[in-house]
């Protein structure tokens, strides 16, 4: 029950702060408080800046003691995101989780990961290999292509 109370609190905060954080839009499933969707804007000065990416967030009943499961629904070319499943390699979603994190702060961490990829722990080996070999131009062009194909906005 503590997880429900915590999620209701986070939901109220999201509703209250709606529009203040233009980089993140968090939406709770109307029929299940444990299912959320996030729309995040790609960070400036990255190949993702032209895109808006959808995340699926499944919150376990043990939340906030256990981290939510977060994955990209939108296809993205990034070394720390599995290209087919959208799984994200991010320490706060695994071993570095703390109950102090909120769904909003998790989305912030995902945006930070987009801006600062970790090529040494890739889920997308092709992307990780481009970065590790120093082919930043190849990485950026592939990431930009997929952003334009899958996450482009009409803004």
pLDDT at 21: 75
107 is a catalytic site residue: no
Average the pLDDT over 51-55 and give the result: 98
Say if residue 154's pLDDT is above 70: no
- Cβ contacts of 140 within 8 Å, gap of 6 or more: 47
CATH of 2-151, one of 3.40.640.10, 3.30.450.20, 3.30.390.50, 3.10.110.10: 3.10.110.10
Q: What's the rounded Cα separation, in Å, for the pair 49 and 124? A: 20
**Longest CA pairwise span in the chain (Å):** 49
The token pair that represents 56 in the structure block: 């699926």
Q: Which of 28, 89, 107, 127 is catalytic?
A: 89
- The pLDDT value recorded for residue 155 is 41
């Amino acid at each position: 029950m503590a997880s429900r109370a915590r999620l209701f609190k986070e939901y109220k905060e999201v509703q209250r702060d709606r529009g203040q954080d233009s980089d993140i839009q968090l939406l709770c499933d109307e029929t299940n408080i444990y299912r959320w969707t996030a729309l995040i804007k790609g960070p400036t000065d990255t190949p993702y800046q032209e895109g808006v990416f959808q995340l699926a967030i499944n919150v376990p009943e043990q939340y906030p003691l256990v981290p939510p499961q977060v994955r990209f629904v939108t296809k993205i070319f990034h070394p720390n995101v599995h290209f087919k499943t959208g799984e994200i390699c991010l320490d706060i979603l695994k071993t570095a989780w703390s109950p102090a994190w909120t769904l909003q702060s998790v989305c912030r961490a995902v945006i930070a990961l987009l801006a600062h990829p970790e090529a040494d722990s890739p889920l997308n080996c092709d992307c990780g290999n481009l970065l590790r070999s120093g082919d930043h131009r190849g990485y950026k062009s592939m990431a930009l292509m997929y952003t334009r194909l899958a996450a482009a906005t009409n803004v």
